[in-house]
Structure 1
Amino acid sequence: MATTYSTRVTASGGRRGEVRSDDGILDLKLAMPKEMGGLGGATNPEQLFAAGYAACFQSATMFLMRGKDIKVDNDMIEVAATVGLDPVEPVGFTLTVTLDVTIKGLPQETAEGFVEAAHQMCPYSKAIRGNVPVTLNVRTVA
């Protein structure tokens, strides 16, 4: 099967360097977070992963809802992704993810069904399944 889309981003300087996409649209400085002994003041790999995961997960949820003839706009669903970097013994780190999903206008049980289905469909969820723990929190509002 042919790839629908691909992108290439080059990192230099590690966590204290920069990332740049081949098309130049993404061009960011990186900084070690203060919590890890760095200076902060710039983005980091965990923030970039959280941004991508949140956006992709929101799109998957919207896609599934539209497939059930639910009228969806950009304000109906909000996904906040928290990516944690946890130490692992004897050396290294591992990721954790919490997705806080807020959906307007649906019953709680229905919203939870869409979020679970999106978790099965989202490419980010698929990529880390079985390797990174993901907590799903679903909240509905009127």
Structure 2
Amino acid sequence: MSKIEKVLATGKTHTIAHGQKGNLDIQLSSPGSAKPAHVFANALPHPTAEQLFAGAWSACYTAAVGLVANDLNVVLPADMSVDIEVDLGQTGPAYYLQARLTLRVPGIAPDIAKTLAHTADQICPYSKATRGNIDVALSVITE
């Protein structure tokens, strides 16, 4: 697996669990451009591929955390969240992805939080699909 030497763009998501409703706020853009790449008169703007991937992965991973918590009889805090960042990068002429997942479970004991994070990573289909294909860092915050 190759390491990214230069990050070109990063798609970031912050997902809150427990059925809280929200809006998906997205725009269509190209790596390296702060402005939307296209303007649609009658359509909402769309995200980069990295944002879409991070968003889908965070929804799946958040659900996996809930399943693991249920299996372990752990009550997740109301402010539990998942942050995922997906980088598009380059090493020489080749393009690659890498990702960082952060599970925030305030008030949960660190050992239980790590078990939740790593077990959810083992069952989440997006995590399975990326395992061994891209670099992924998984971290836990309990404060």
Does TM, scored on the shorter chain, surpass 0.5?
Answer: yes
- Residue 58 (str. 1) matches residue 62 (str. 2): yes
SS of alignment partner, residue 47 of structure 2: coil
Count, aligned residues:
111
Q: CA deviation at 1:85?
A: 0.8
Q: CA deviation at 1:55?
A: 1.3
Report the aligned-residue RMSD. 2.2
Instruction: Flag the structure with larger Rg.
Output: 1
| Counterpart amino acid of residue 109 in structure 1 | D
SS of alignment partner, residue 79 of structure 1: strand
SS of alignment partner, residue 32 of structure 1: coil
Q: CA deviation at 1:29?
A: 6.3
TM-score (norm 2): 0.69
The equivalent residue for 1:78 is 81
Distance 2:74 2:79 in 1: 11
The equivalent residue for 1:118 is 120
Give me the identity figure in percent.
Answer: 30
Decide which of 105, 108, 111 is 2:110's aligned counterpart.
Answer: 108
Q: Which stretches in structure 2 are left out of the alignment for 5+ residues?
A: 1-23, 38-45
After the TM superposition, which segments of 4 or more aligned residues of structure 1 sit over 6 Å from their partners? Answer: none
- Residue 39 (str. 1) matches residue 35 (str. 2): yes
| Cα contact 2:68–2:120 (8 A) shared by 1 | yes
Higher helix share: 1
| Cα contact 1:58–1:77 (8 A) shared by 2 | no
Q: 1:68 to 1:43 in 2, by over 3 A?
A: same
TM-score (norm 1): 0.69
Bigger relative contact order (CA 8 A; separation at least 6): 2
